[in-house]
Amino acid sequence: MTSDSPTERILDLRPHPRILPMLGEINLPQWRCLAELIDNSLDAFVAAERAGRAIHKPQIAISVPQADRPDGRIVLADNGPGMDPATLENAVRAGWTSNDPISSLGLFGMGFNIATARLGQIAEVWSTKEGLQEWYGVRIDFDELVRSGDFKTPLLSRPKLSPSVSGTEIVLYRLKSEQRKWFAVAVNRAKVAQELGRTYSALLVPDGKPLAVSMTLNTTPLPARLHCVWDAARSSDTQKIGSVAAVQPFNIDLGARPYCVVCWQWVPGGESRCPTCEERGKLVQRTRRVHGWLGVQRYLHERDYGIDLLRNGRKIEIGNKDLFMWTGDDGNEEKEYPIDDPRGRGRIVGEIHLDHCRVTYTKDRFERNDVAWGEMIEIIRGHSPLRPEKANELGLGGENNTPLFRLYQAFRRSNPKTKASTGWVRFLAVPDNDAAKKMADRFYAGEIAYLPDDKWFALAQEGDEAALRPPATPASSPGGSQADDFFGADGDSGASAAPQDTPRPGRTTFPRRPIHSLCQDFVEDLSGRKYPVATFATSLDDTDLEGKPWALRQPTAGQWEFYYAAEHPAFRSATLTPGDALLCELAIAAVDSARGRADSPPFARVLTGLRNRYATWARLEPRDLIGTAKDCLVAIARAPSKRLPPEAGATLLADLPPAAGDTILERLMARSVKATDVIASARFLEYAPSWILLKVIELHPEWFFDGAYWHVPFDSIDYGSSQLTEAAQNRAMKHALALVADAAWLAEADSEELMQADRTRLLRAALALELLQGAVASQEDA
């Protein structure tokens, strides 16, 4: 404390040096500490490029300890423009920054202090600019600063080999013991590489945004984790908005706007003074742009989907799902995606570059109260619900051409009505999602054959081909249905592909169609063997089958081929598919390979393990069944509203028994649904219990049969005799009502109840769902 006069006292509020080591108590993960240092290097590269002095081949090299040793160090070095001594002094000053949170990623000063104090006790920063003869440095010894009681430290220097060299180097010494031990574990270092590769993936590619940068960790390049999305050339045709590409790019220039460099706030246009801090002359014009893309992932996942939000090339939020929520005027949020998948799995992904929006000091979240955030929401999804029916209910319908709305309309659903239906190509979906995820693992591993989406597309095509084959030919893919449409199937035969297997000299073969869903590496855990298998559907007359329904052979070392005759009576069984046959053969091969070993696994355990991993299509998963049943009933209940004239819903409701009307109104009130709208359009059936839906089907078959919803005949039945015709109609009605009742049993059950249910009962209900959905006359937009 000092005094300039007897009446004036000046307080010295300079923080005590112990504030620096205390910053190290902020719980920042190791990779985020390194990211703080990386951000400052990136800012230097971006600033140089904006100034017209772009760095040739920007590089950032990071090294961390690989053993728990006292002399371990962490080093980050870049070839950026560097700093002179005056800039260096300010750069490492506690709490100081010349950057604002719009133009820059790093806040060199506070972020630097937090990161370095978290990792070690001593930090050195060396930097030089092109043309300078020396490197200049500063050494921050946290213990020494506390002992001395001030922040004074000498400016260091060292010679450099060439005046043309520029860059900055940060070295952390005397690492904390817990940090040395953590980095000494290989798995932890791999996690750091993974997180950094994901966070900076937009920069680690040749056409990086806002620039391309090379980064290494212990001399190994950081792998950019790209999104496994369908190609931009793929599209889906919708009835309402036409063709929608699987990737939706956007680049919206919002124009310049005043920005206060003192309090870091956007200011309305035309203002000469910041209304927040009332500073005059501290406003600058800042550009505002929202750019990036949204796309459709090649697989579904419970967590691995959502939109990455970036600022200046760094991902601040990864897999954000806020844009999939609708917030009403009452402030309540409602999930809009995913809502059609029983397991809650999604596949819409993307990257939104929002460089002009503020983020939290920990750089893990954009500030939601920043005006830039609201502008982005309007651009990406619009001001109304993504569900057209919900938007119409709220009076917010109308044209919506935002990228998320378009993707939502075309790819909200991730499968056709049933796995036995066509539409897999239209929805760009793979019938066997587990297979799609396994291929995605190889995409992320960088295997060249899995970078394009051809293998996924082949599986989607195969799903459609299986659904189009005549009932006499069982579905060849493991996910295909072995049950014909209860009401009679129709469709054309799928075309066979050219043979691609290994011919055997002297053998007579027939055209063989590759079955992509059964072409993969099968791993048997107990024996430790891997079986790369190529599977082909062939003819009963194929001599390689030798009269058998299937055969597994190994034509070359390390490669296996599996053939089966799709028309063989064995595959008319309700319990045997080609996939089952293949897994049995692989189990036999695995047991044979381990024969004679003391720990030779029994056949039963081997087959069970293979089925648990690869026969997911055969599982009666309660969550899936419940979700599918609910979707099925809603689709049936929605059918009349698409065909009734306006205002006819009120008449329908009045025709129902009084107890039914009261029940429906009570449900609408409990869900805060505006009754007048849904009653007029007959959409109230979506909220009705199943017994009411069954009654409506019985009272008004014309709204459901003869192509109105199902392609099953009813009014068109004519046997020339009223008595015979009525009997046939009654039989068709009983069939339909029994199937809907089975679906209702599933929809109204819980997972625990179904886990305890009789397997035969569960199987019957599952087949009822398949038959109901397979009889739908046409695929409709979600």
Q: Are 80 and 125 in contact (CB under 8 A)?
A: no
Of the listed ranges 26-30, 177-181, 434-438, 695-699, the one predicted with least confidence? 26-30
Q: What is the pLDDT of residue 437?
A: 93
Q: What is the pLDDT of residue 499?
A: 37
- In our burial notation (b when 16+ CB lie closer than 10 A, e otherwise), range 662-673 reads ebbeebbeeeeb
Average pLDDT over residues 518-539: 88
Tell me the C-alpha distance between 85 and 156, whole Å.
9
Tell me the C-alpha distance between 647 and 76, whole Å.
70
DSSP character for 273? B
Tell me the C-alpha distance between 462 and 566, whole Å.
14
- In our burial notation (b when 16+ CB lie closer than 10 A, e otherwise), range 515-528 reads bbbbbbebbbebbe
Please say whether the dihedral angle defined by the alpha carbons of residues 622, 625, 631 and 632, taken in this order, is positive or negative. negative
The packing angle between helices 622-638 and 759-774, to 10°, is 40
Q: Are 81 and 58 in contact (CB under 8 A)?
A: no
CB neighbourhood size of 681 (10 A)? 22
Facing residues of 359 across strands? 366
- In our burial notation (b when 16+ CB lie closer than 10 A, e otherwise), range 219-243 reads eeebbbbbbbbbbeebbbebeeeee
- Percent helix, strand, coil in the chain, to 5, is 35, 20, 45
Residue 455 makes CB contacts below 8 A (sequence gap 6+) with 439, 449, 516
Residue whose entry in the numeric block shows the structure tokens 């998948």? 341
Of the pLDDT bands very low, low, confident and very high (cuts 50, 70, 90), residue 472 is very low
More confident position, 598 or 448? 448
Strand pairing report for 59-63 and 214-217 = parallel
More confident position, 599 or 729? 729
Q: What is the pLDDT of residue 16?
A: 55
The backbone torsions φ and ψ at residue 531, rounded to the nearest 5 degrees and listed phi first, read -120, 100
47-90 pLDDT tens trace: 888 888 989 999 999 999 999 999 999 999 999 999 988 888 87
248-301 pLDDT tens trace: 999 999 888 877 776 667 777 767 677 777 666 577 778 889 999 999 999 999
Tokens of 291: 């750019």
- In our burial notation (b when 16+ CB lie closer than 10 A, e otherwise), range 457-495 reads bbbbebbbbbbbbeeeebbbbbbbbbbebbbebeeeebe
Tell me the C-alpha distance between 196 and 104, whole Å.
18
Q: What is the pLDDT of residue 316?
A: 93
pTM, two decimals, is: 0.73
Q: What is the pLDDT of residue 493?
A: 31
651-669 pLDDT tens trace: 777 777 777 777 877 777 7
Domains of the chain by start residue, with CATH: 19-205+212-221 (3.30.565.10), 235-411 (no CATH), 452-614 (no CATH), 622-774 (no CATH)
Q: Is the pLDDT of residue 706 over 60?
A: yes
Please report, rounded to a whole number, the percentage of residues in the chain having pLDDT higher than 70. 84
Q: Is the pLDDT of residue 545 over 80?
A: yes
| Strand order across the 306-311 sheet | 247-253, 289-301, 346-353, 306-311, 314-320
| Average pLDDT value over all residues in the chain | 82
DSSP character for 387? S
Selection from 434, 428, 431 nearest residue 420 by Cα: 431
Q: What is the pLDDT of residue 6?
A: 54
What is the Cα 530 distance to its own chain's centre? Answer: 29
Average pLDDT over residues 1-19: 55
DSSP character for 6? S
Q: What is the pLDDT of residue 13?
A: 46
Facing residues of 229 across strands? 297
Residue 348 makes CB contacts below 8 A (sequence gap 6+) with 294, 295, 296, 297, 305, 306, 307, 324, 337, 404, 407, 408, 411
Tokens of 639: 């059918």
Q: Is the pLDDT of residue 580 over 50?
A: yes
Facing residues of 479 across strands? none
Average pLDDT over residues 403-407: 96
For 609-625, what is the HEC assignment?
Answer: HHHHHHCHHHCCCHHHH
Tell me the C-alpha distance between 446 and 223, whole Å.
9
410-454 pLDDT tens trace: 999 888 765 556 789 999 999 888 889 999 999 999 999 999 999
Average pLDDT over residues 187-199: 95
Facing residues of 128 across strands? 167
Tell me the C-alpha distance between 115 and 467, whole Å.
57
With H, G, I as helix, E, B as strand and everything else as coil, classify residue 748. coil
Q: What is the pLDDT of residue 419?
A: 55
Q: What is the pLDDT of residue 485?
A: 42
Residue whose entry in the numeric block shows the structure tokens 């209860």? 486
Tell me the C-alpha distance between 475 and 468, whole Å.
9
Q: Is the pLDDT of residue 97 over 50?
A: no
- Amino acid symbol at 390: K
Average pLDDT over residues 387-401: 81
What is the Cα 196 distance to its own chain's centre? Answer: 19
Tell me the C-alpha distance between 87 and 137, whole Å.
11
The packing angle between helices 722-747 and 759-774, to 10°, is 120
* Max mean pLDDT range (20-29, 105-114, 212-221): 212-221
Of the listed ranges 580-589, 681-690, 744-753, 762-771, the one predicted with least confidence? 681-690
Selection from 97, 90, 89, 93 nearest residue 39 by Cα: 97
Average pLDDT over residues 321-346: 87
For 138-183, what is the HEC assignment?
Answer: EEEEHHHHHHHCCCCCCEEEEECCCCCCCEEEEEEEEECHHHHHHH
Average pLDDT over residues 701-726: 87
